[in-house]
Amino acid sequence: MVHRGGRHAITDRSRRDGAFASSLRNSKVATRRVGSMSDRTQRPDTILVLDFGSQYTHLIARRVREQKVYSEVVAHDTTVEEIKSKATDMNVKGLVFSGGPSSVYSPDAPSCDMRILEMALPILGICYGHQLIAKRALGKVRPGKKNEYGITYVSVDRPVGILKGMSKTERVWMSHRDIVTELPEEYETLAHSDNCPVAAFQCKLRPIYGIQWHPEVAHTEKGTLTLRNFIFEVCKCTPNWMVEDCIEKAIREVKNTVGQARAIVALSGGVDSGVAAAIASKAIGRNLSAVLVDHGLMRDGEPEVVKSIFSKLEMNLIVLNEKERFLKKLRKIKDPEEKRRIIGREFMRSFERASKALKADYLIQGTIYPDRIESGFRKHSDKIKTHHNVGGLPHTLKFKTIVEPIRDLYKDEVRLIAQQIGLPKEVWLRQPFPGPGLAVRIAGEVTPEKLEILKRADRIVDEEVRKSGLSGKLWQYFPVLTDTRSTGVKGDARAYGYVAAIRAVESLDGMTASFARLPYELLETISSRMTNEIPEIARVVYDVTHKPPATIEWE
């Protein structure tokens, strides 16, 4: 995130750990703000993103927000009246039609209120959005000769509007099958590629644009410039929003929902649940208890670290030792989604028991946007995996409500809020860790033996990556215990043991990721240590798959 120094702000000494407890006790949001939202503007300039189901829809909103312009994702069938009704809270200056997995010709293809095209608001259609606008304008959309996924080069025919400042050839990221082949007279082509005769267009009469590629994805080299052109040149937005504005909104939401009642917050020790806990603490103070479920699937020593950090917080901290129960429930379970669902269900049972004992009616969770996106909570989008804190929840819950105060934020936005709200550095710099823990890093059945092996391997990877000085540059780095065994030779004897894989990725938000090009020396050290120190591991491999097509976790 790049707001006011972005990650560099992490070095700000004024927010040191010592300030943590006291700043949480303050009722006003902590410091470094340049003024509350009302000082700056009541109604931030806003770009609304109409969601047609792409995995990247929310990246668009996030990229817009990086430019300090507020953005919100709305359903694709949002009406003109609904857009107009937003005028009390925000100044809508433009619309983006997202991509999506459908074909504009399929019978259940998502559409929009076409009166939106007459609203005189600037519109940018991306991928499916581009095709939808072209089809609606009576252009031609056809299946392409081949699917196009990944890096492509486009030729820019007219560097104007959203393509202002582009070179003749640009490296972009595409993911589509259909293509726009013809446009009506009032539209003109701005770019083409070998596969797409109309890779970008503009309407000559209105500020309406379309592009086949994805400017929101980091692999598109001038994606940010394309979005900036749309936001500032076409929509004429003023950058008058900051991520910190979300803190007050989130505190208000928790206060209004929970009122004078009691709530528990599900704490894992990661930055998401830490921020949710800090926000809830500010909202309802002593009526909040933090519950850490020790399911035995955390890293070695992790529950102790979390306890020591969060016991400084002004709230009741409860640690539940549930190791045996979780392991029992996971016995003989091999399917990754089944594992995720079981863990989600068991988590909820633990929280229900805790809430009964504490007489708490509300559960607060640190769910963030990518959790919800990948769990397929939106119309017309595919489920990638059941994030345990979203899709993994049982349908019958004994809570009045689950409150998710940071559900619309991305990880880097959450990290920034963690600094602003006064959480210690060790929380905001923590690697993301999946709710189902090491269970999704053990292929096949989770057994106590495999857990022990993986914890030891994890310690080695952690120690060596830290020693190499690369830990700060990586989004995540960890070992995976595969279900495959392999023959080796240790000393002069035959060895037959597990194949462990190392996964290390660079990412901005966890939505896309590149495998990290770790030095061979580092990989060699990790491999020798693992095979020497852990007798059950016979072989170590390195995962060189980006996301997509892989996900970051193996399961």
Active site residues: 127, 214, 216
The answer to whether residue 189 forms part of the interface with ligand XMP (CB under 6 A) is no
> Can residue 76 be called a binding residue for ligand XMP (CB under 6 A)?
no
Query: What is the rounded CA–CA span in Å between residue 255 and residue 448?
Result: 42
**Residue 302 interacts with ligand XMP (CB under 6 A)?**
no
3-state secondary structure of 182: strand
Q: How far apart are CA 453 and CA 498, in angstroms?
A: 9
Rounded to whole angstroms, how far apart are CA atoms 388 and 370?
A: 12
Minimum gap (Å) between residue 371 Cβ and ligand XMP: 5
Return the residues of window 503-532 that contact ligand XMP according to CB under 6 A.
Answer: 510
Q: Name which of 214 and 388 has its Cβ closer to ligand XMP.
A: 388
Smallest distance, Å, CB 256 to ligand XMP?
25
**Measured from the CB atom, is 116 or 508 closer to ligand XMP?**
508
539 binds ligand XMP (CB under 6 A): no
Query: Which of 374, 412, 458, 464 touches ligand XMP (CB under 6 A)?
Result: 374
Identify the residue among 161, 296, 436, 497 touching ligand XMP (CB under 6 A).
436
The answer to whether residue 381 forms part of the interface with ligand XMP (CB under 6 A) is no
How far is the C-alpha of 439 from the C-alpha of 434, rounded, in Å? 9
Options 387, 415, 450, 503; binder of ligand XMP; rule CB under 6 A: 387
Minimum Å gap between C-beta 509 and ligand XMP is 9
* Residue 274 touches ligand XMP, criterion: CB under 6 A: no
Q: Counting contacts by CB under 6 A, is residue 3 touching ligand XMP?
A: no
473: helix, strand or coil: helix
Judging by beta carbons within 10 Å of its beta carbon (0-12, 13-18, 19+), is residue 56 exposed, middle or buried? buried
Decide if residue 294 touches ligand XMP (CB under 6 A). no
Return the residue of 435, 437, 479, 497 that touches ligand XMP, per CB under 6 A: 435
Q: Is 553 in the site for ligand XMP (CB under 6 A)?
A: yes
Q: Which of 222, 378, 388, 430 binds ligand XMP (CB under 6 A)?
A: 388
552 binds ligand XMP (CB under 6 A): yes
Among 476, 482, 527, 531, binds ligand XMP (CB under 6 A): 476
Of 99, 122, 434, 437, the one binding ligand XMP by CB under 6 A? 434
> Minimum distance between the CB of residue 500 and ligand XMP, rounded to whole angstroms?
18
- The answer to whether 287 touches 257, Cβ cutoff 8 Å, is no
Interface stretch with ligand XMP, choices 6-14, 103-111, 165-173, 434-442 (CB under 6 A): 434-442
Residue 101 binds to ligand XMP (criterion: CB under 6 A): no
Residue 56 CA: distances (Å) to CA of 98, 149, 282, 394? 8, 14, 32, 27
Residue 415 CA to residue 427 CA, distance in Å, equals 9
* Tokens linked to 5: 């120094």
For the chain, what percentages of helix, strand and coil (3-state, to nearest 5) are there?
35, 25, 40
CA distance 484 to 352: 38
* Cβ nearer to ligand XMP, comparing 296 with 510: 510
Q: Quote the Cα angle for 276-98-129, to 5°.
A: 170
Could you say which residues in the range 414-433 bind ligand XMP, by CB under 6 A? 432
Which residue is associated with the tokens 């950058």?
A: 239
| Position 341 contacts ligand XMP (CB under 6 A) | no
Residue 445 CA to residue 459 CA, distance in Å, equals: 21
Task: List b or e across 179-209, with b for residues whose CB sees 16 or more CB atoms inside 10 angstroms.
Answer: bbeebeeebebbbbbebbebbbbbbeeebbb
* Residue ranges binding ligand XMP (CB under 6 A): 370-371, 374, 385, 387-389, 432, 434-436, 476, 510, 547, 551-553
